Amino acid sequence: MLIETDAIVCGLRAHGEHGAVVRLMTPRDGLQAAYVRGARGRRMRPVLLAGNVVQARLRARTEGQLAQAEVELVHSRALLMSEPLPAAAIEWATVLAATALPEAQPYPRLHAALDGLLSAIEAAPSASGWGAALVRYELLLLAELGFGLDLDSCALSGSQEDLVAVSPRSGRAVNRAEAQPYGDRLLPLPGFVRAGGVGSWRDILDGLRLSGHFLTRDLLTDRAAPILEARSRLVDRIGRASGLGDNPVAERGGGA
């Protein structure tokens, strides 16, 4: 096996005295794990920070063997690691990919979404500039892994107009008229999820509650559940930045 590609660093686990197993998100070959010699040394530590873009050369004698990798820095996001909110966002976005995705399966749309999200965090450190992109990234990851939501029409009436909520049970959209009897038992559906663009602080927090519900229920279970602590830290920081409270993304049950 020989792969030469740009990649996003998504995770690093110590292996041996000085090396590490690095997880890299690639455009065409999906998530790739590889051993990097000297990964924890002075020269390589700043190269292998989560969120950095590297040029990687991965080699293995067989498909089942852990690849050996040589990496060179293409673009560093190290400066963002000194800012609590951008650092928390990069940590979460990359650890989610490293934990949830199966290795060596191509997800070009997810790579593009992760790259776009990291670029947005870099361009606008305030979550008001990239919060909507984070929600769309999480929802896309759910969809790519078979847990996508059905947001095209109302689960109860079939209408495609005025969709404002999502059933926490079925993952289907509900329009305003049909949602009224259920009160706050439904999850809010911010307009940017379907229409694109950015959202208000409240829209972003509502979107995070939506995606977080299904990530927790359907994907990040058992051994993957501990990484939700990174998401909780991020959501708490976004809540404080928004001025809407320390815990504005409370989960709710019930619904259609």
Q: For residues 188 and 38, what is the distance between their CA atoms, to the nearest angstrom?
A: 47
pLDDT band for 249, please (50, 70, 90 cuts). low
User: Which residue matches tokens 């096996």?
Assistant: 1
Q: For residues 185 and 169, what is the distance between their CA atoms, to the nearest angstrom?
A: 10
- Residue 101 shares a structural domain with residue 167: yes
- Residue 67 shares a structural domain with residue 157: no
pLDDT at 256 (0 to 100): 53
Query: Does 254 reside within a domain?
Result: no
List, for residues 210-219, the tens digit of each pLDDT value: 999 999 999 9
pLDDT at 156 (0 to 100): 93
203: CATH:
1.20.1440.120
pLDDT at 250 (0 to 100): 47
Q: What angle do CA 158, 159, 163 make, to 5 degrees?
A: 115
Average pLDDT over residues 27-39: 95
- Residue 152 shares a structural domain with residue 219: yes
Query: Does 211 reside within a domain?
Result: yes
- Residue 64 shares a structural domain with residue 90: no
- Residue 64 shares a structural domain with residue 142: no
- Residue 236 shares a structural domain with residue 161: yes
DSSP tag of 220: S
- Cβ-Cβ contacts under 8 Å for 116 (sequence gap 6 or more): 133
Q: Which domain holds residue 127?
A: 80-242
pLDDT band for 18, please (50, 70, 90 cuts). confident
pLDDT at 252 (0 to 100): 40
Average pLDDT over residues 52-62: 94
Tokens of 105: 């399966």
List, for residues 139-156, the tens digit of each pLDDT value: 999 999 999 999 999 999
Radius of gyration of the chain (CA): 19
Average pLDDT over residues 88-107: 96
Tokens of 51: 């969120």
24: CATH:
2.40.50.140
Query: Does 251 reside within a domain?
Result: no
The region of weakest confidence among 37-41, 101-105, 137-141 is: 37-41
pLDDT at 248 (0 to 100): 53
CA quadruple 33, 34, 40, 41: dihedral sign: negative
Domain count, the chain: 2
Average pLDDT over residues 15-40: 92
pLDDT at 245 (0 to 100): 58
List, for residues 104-163, the tens digit of each pLDDT value: 999 999 999 999 999 999 998 789 999 999 999 999 999 999 999 999 999 999 999 999
Query: Does 249 reside within a domain?
Result: no
pLDDT at 46 over 50: yes
Last residue of a domain, one of 53, 76, 99: 76
Q: What is the mean pLDDT of the chain?
A: 92
Tell me the percentage of the chain whose pLDDT exceeds 70. 95
pLDDT band for 205, please (50, 70, 90 cuts). very high
Last residue of a domain, one of 30, 54, 76: 76
- Residue 21 shares a structural domain with residue 147: no
What pTM did the predictor assign? 0.92
DSSP tag of 76: -
- What are the CA-CA distances from residue 11 to residues 34, 90, 143, 187 (Å)? 11, 11, 22, 31
pLDDT band for 17, please (50, 70, 90 cuts). confident
pLDDT at 244 (0 to 100): 80
- Residue 37 shares a structural domain with residue 88: no
pLDDT band for 254, please (50, 70, 90 cuts). very low
Count of other CB atoms within 10 angstroms of residue 10: 24
- Residue 43 shares a structural domain with residue 108: no
Count of other CB atoms within 10 angstroms of residue 73: 16
Q: For residues 107 and 182, what is the distance between their CA atoms, to the nearest angstrom?
A: 37
